[in-house]
Structure 1
Amino acid sequence: MHIRPARRADSADIVILDDIASSGLASHVLQVGVSDGNYDRPLEFGRDGYAFIDGPFSWKNVLIAETDDGIAGMSLSFELIGGPGDQGLPDPVLEPLESLKSRAIGTRMIDSVAVYTRFRGQGIGRALVEAELARATGPSSIITDSANIRALALYQSLGFEQQDRAPFIAFNDNHAAAHWVLLTRPNLRGAPAPAH
């Protein structure tokens, strides 16, 4: 497995993995492209967004984990400077997330980390987060939901600490989370790596 910068041609995998990372929230948000009549499916709208729109949610901010069998996972991060460029599409479901993001301005926000199901358990998620930390020039932040125990444990093992919580507004019937959880980590360059 190796990690490389994404290419525009990876945009279909990126949007699928973003949907996996968000437990379907990406599809929910991207439904606006279908509602406007411009696209047949949310993931098609998302693919074009990642491929052709500059800004935080672009293929240019993505790292790809690749194996001999193809793309296994991805991570997306960007400098969280505040303002409308950092935000997703307007949606009340996203308001608690935007509130947490406002508490993390000045960090490198790791917005998404996902690994395809068949590649899980091989340390790919950890490697992606470590690669994101390596490209951060200051503190990092990440948001996950309170039901994602494996992700919370991974992030905490890499030095992230919980900073705040916000209510989880259900967007489908398949989620048991009660809160979104904001975790942050100082830039530890030169410090010993956290124990694995």
Structure 2
Amino acid sequence: MAVEFRPARRTDARDIARLFQISSEGASDYIWSQLAAPGEALLDVGERRYARDDVDFSWQNCLIAEAEGGVVGMMHSYAMREDPEPTPPTDPVLAPYADMEVLDSLYISSLALHEGWRNQGLGVQFLRHAQTRAEQLGLNGLSLIDYAANTGARRFYERHGFGIVKTCEVVPHPMIRVTGDAHLMYRA
């Protein structure tokens, strides 16, 4: 089946949020739980978040893989630049990630495919698109955070030139589905 890669549209926000839930191992649900109104479903929060314009976590920073008239995968990425006014992290679950950055890189915050669409070369195609985008933006490479517990993803990224440049420990929380280390990975 033919898969088409296209820029996301605002109407993809719910699909983007659903796929972000897959790749984040519960971290997105944790973040969205902090933003939810009483009784608001977490997926609704994620959809609202990705429907915004001109922010890092926006549909505007997503690339969609589409087949059979539906979204089968997505990659969310944005330029990692130095924050001129950084605010120290106060959330104990998220604090370890505060310095897990490679400045002047294209940060891939999510690359996810629905089951049945994995192991078909789509991840490699997403990485090619990311490399092209990084070059267009004048960035020095690609970066991402991967969980040590997700050995398949780590092997995939290592096969495609990424190396671990920093490690932090995942703070245990009932919503986070992994424990152990998180790795900042980079490819020039």
Which of these residues, 173, 180, 183, is aligned with residue 182 of structure 2? 180
User: What residue number does 1:127 align with?
Assistant: 125
Deviation by residue 1:151-184 (Cα, 9 ceiling, x = unmatched)? 1111111111111101111222773431110111
Q: Distance in 2 between matches of 1:121 and 1:6?
A: 22
| One-letter amino acid of the structure 2 residue matched with residue 126 of structure 1 | V
State percent identity of aligned pairs: 30
Seen in structure 2, the aligned counterparts of structure 1 residues 173 and 25 have a Cα distance that, compared at 3 Å, is closer
**How far apart in 2 are the matches of 1:76 and 1:85?**
24
* Distance in 2 between residues matched to 1:184 and 1:85, nearest whole Å: 24
What SS does structure 1 have at the residue aligned with 2:75?
Answer: strand
Please, what TM-score do these two structures have when normalized by structure 1? 0.84
Q: Which amino acid aligns with 1:135?
A: R
Cα distance, 1:118 vs structure 2: 2.6
User: Following TM superposition, by how much is the alpha carbon of 1:67 offset from its aligned partner in structure 2, in angstroms?
Assistant: 1.2
Q: TM-score, structure 2 length as denominator?
A: 0.87
Which residue pairs with 2:92 in the alignment?
Answer: 92
1:109 and 1:142 in contact (8 A); partners too: yes
Alignment of 1:1-196 (within 5 A): 1-34=3-36, 36-37=37-38, 40-83=40-83, 91-101=91-101, 104-137=102-135, 138-172=140-174, 175-186=177-188
What residue identity is the alignment partner of 1:169?
V
Measure, in 1, the Cα distance between the counterparts of 2:5 and 2:29. 25
Q: How far 1:130 sits from its partner (Å)? A: 2.2
Asked if the contact 1:108–1:139 (Cα under 8 Å) also holds between the matched residues in 2, the reply is yes
> In 1, are the aligned partners of 2:170 and 2:178 still within 8 Å (CA)?
no
* Unmatched runs of 5 consecutive residues or more in structure 1: 187-196
Residues 176, 45 of structure 1: alpha-carbon distance in 2 compared, 3 angstrom cutoff: closer
State the AA in 1 paired with 2:15.
Answer: D
Structure that is richer in helix per residue:
1
Quick one: structure 1 residues 42 and 63, their matched pair in 2 at CA, closer, same or farther if it must change by over 3 Å? same
Residues 25 and 178, structure 2, Cα contact 8 Å, conserved in 1: no
CA contact (8 A) 2:170 2:181 kept: yes
- 1:53 positional shift: 4.3
Aligned residues: 181
The offset of 1:84, in angstroms, is 8.0
Q: 3-state DSSP class of the match of 1:78?
A: strand
Q: CA RMSD in A?
A: 2.2
